[in-house]
């Protein structure tokens, strides 16, 4: 424990780092960052929406720790994760007269964490950075594990690097500023952990998930802590996704990224909403192949619907788009020798990697689904 925060360790040898989880961490960020800095200079990267309620307390905490700082504010939204914005970001960071000892601080959701982390990985061939995720999705997923990336015209996260942060500060109090839709999008990633490896966690979410999304402190802390613990253990054992264990974290994502690409990587379909739909499709496809039971698929669909997440492709305007969705899936990072890799369930709490999904089976399935 650190004050009211709980601590997890991502065990990666010399690159190991802590995840702190709890309320009020942004206001105390300076004291946690100070032991890690090699030069008393930080550059904060945030977005226009996050900056309004959360930038000032972060700046004040750095002031109190004696860390000089400058701030770069980005436009909000997935559209910021492109080459044009990345180029402007690195130019702005370099204009701050950084050195290799400068600490980059990513204050925001997954978009800010991804683009700032990729900048940290590439600037001066690598500078230190800290993740301060402010959304549920970022706290339980993108801020942990060192995946940094931006999008290309051909698809999501196709330009990136594995580059671990020095520290993750998951301030659960920050989520009070989130719109309900953003909170639900993050909840989809929480559900993912139960579906791939922990049926008891899913059972709890099925009963008490509403409390998580209502920001009940006890339920929220359990959801974030359980999700981060599972991811930390997986990352420690398979940092660069060379085996199957880390690949399981992509459950719902191959379908989901295709849905995001087809809807334009924007507000029409948020990343977590796409993952929710992707998980439903993964269960439905597994049922079609005789791998999973229809009862489990129905339970997952009903849970997501009850929570307010999309669970039908028709609701997001993707009728008659089977071929286009399949084309997007063919550009996924996990494609090998032209074969699409999917994470499919045997049952709730038990998923596996299918590395040779047949295109004709997927095309027929998607045609029926849309």
Per CATH, which fold does 6-176 belong to?
Answer: Rossmann fold (3.40.50)
State mean pLDDT over 89-103.
Answer: 98
Across 71-95, average pLDDT: 97
**Is the pLDDT assigned to residue 217 strictly greater than 70?**
yes
Can you identify the CATH homologous superfamily of domain 180-369? Dehydroquinate synthase-like - alpha domain (1.20.1090.10)
- Between CA 30 and CA 50 the distance in angstroms is 18
**Whole-prediction pTM value?**
0.92
The strand pairing partners of 153, in sequence order, are: none
- pLDDT-derived band at 21 (thresholds 50, 70, 90) equals very high
Q: Please state, in angstroms and rounded to a whole number, the distance separating the CA atoms of residues 343 and 254.
A: 8
The answer to whether 189 touches 227, Cβ cutoff 8 Å, is yes
167-171 and 17-22 as β-strands: parallel, antiparallel, unpaired? Answer: parallel
- Per residue in 321-341, pLDDT (tens digit) is 888 999 999 887 667 766 789
* pLDDT average, residue stretch 277-297: 97
Helix (H, G, I), strand (E, B) or coil at 32: helix
Break the chain into its structural domains and give their ranges. 6-176, 180-369
Instruction: Assess whether the region 6-176 and the region 180-369 belong to the same CATH fold.
Output: no
The dihedrals phi and psi of 242, each to the nearest 5 degrees, come to -85, -20
The arithmetic mean of pLDDT across residues 191-202, rounded, is 98
Q: Can you tell me the distance from the alpha carbon of 346 to that of 241, in angstroms, rounded to the nearest whole number?
A: 21
Just list the catalytic residues.
Answer: 125, 147, 189, 231, 241, 246, 250, 253, 257, 271
Mean pLDDT (whole number) for 92-108: 98
């Amino acid at each position: 424990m650190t004050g009211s925060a709980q601590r997890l360790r991502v065990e990666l040898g010399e690159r190991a780092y802590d995840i702190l989880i709890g309320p009020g961490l942004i206001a105390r960020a300076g004291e946690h960052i100070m032991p890690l800095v090699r030069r008393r200079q930080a550059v904060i990267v945030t977005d226009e929406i996050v900056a309004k309620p959360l930038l000032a307390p972060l700046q004040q905490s750095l002031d109190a720790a004696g860390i000089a700082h400058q701030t770069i504010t980005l436009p909000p939204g997935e559209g910021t994760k492109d080459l044009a914005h990345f180029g402007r970001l690195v130019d702005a960071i370099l204009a701050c007269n950084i050195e290799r000892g400068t600490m980059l601080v990513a204050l925001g959701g997954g978009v800010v964490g991804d683009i700032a982390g990729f900048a940290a990985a590439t600037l001066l061939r690598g500078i230190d950075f800290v993740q301060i995720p402010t959304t549920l999705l970022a706290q339980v997923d993108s801020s942990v594990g060192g995946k940094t990336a931006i999008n290309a015209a051909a698809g999501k996260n196709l330009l990136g690097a594995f580059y671990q942060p020095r520290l993750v500060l998951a301030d659960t109090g920050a989520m009070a500023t989130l719109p309900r839709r953003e909170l639900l999008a993050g909840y989809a990633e929480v559900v993912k952990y139960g579906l791939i490896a922990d049926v008891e966690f899913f059972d709890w979410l099925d009963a008490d998930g509403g409390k998580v999304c209502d920001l009940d402190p006890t339920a929220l802390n359990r959801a974030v802590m359980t999700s981060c613990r599972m991811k930390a253990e997986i990352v420690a054992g398979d940092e660069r996704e060379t085996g199957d264990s880390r690949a399981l974290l992509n459950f719902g994502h191959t379908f989901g990224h295709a849905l995001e690409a087809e809807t334009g990587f924007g507000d029409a379909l948020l990343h977590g909403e796409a993952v929710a739909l992707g998980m439903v499709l993964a269960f439905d496809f597994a049922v079609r192949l005789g791998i999973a039971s229809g009862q489990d698929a129905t339970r997952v669909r009903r849970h997501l619907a009850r929570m307010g997440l999309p669970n039908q492709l028709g609701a997001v305007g993707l009728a008659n788009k089977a071929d286009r969705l399949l084309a997007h899936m063919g550009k996924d990072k996990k494609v090998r020798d032209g074969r699409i890799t999917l994470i499919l369930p045997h049952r709730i709490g038990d998923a596996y990697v299918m590395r040779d999904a047949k295109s004709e089976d997927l095309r027929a399935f998607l045609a029926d689904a849309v």
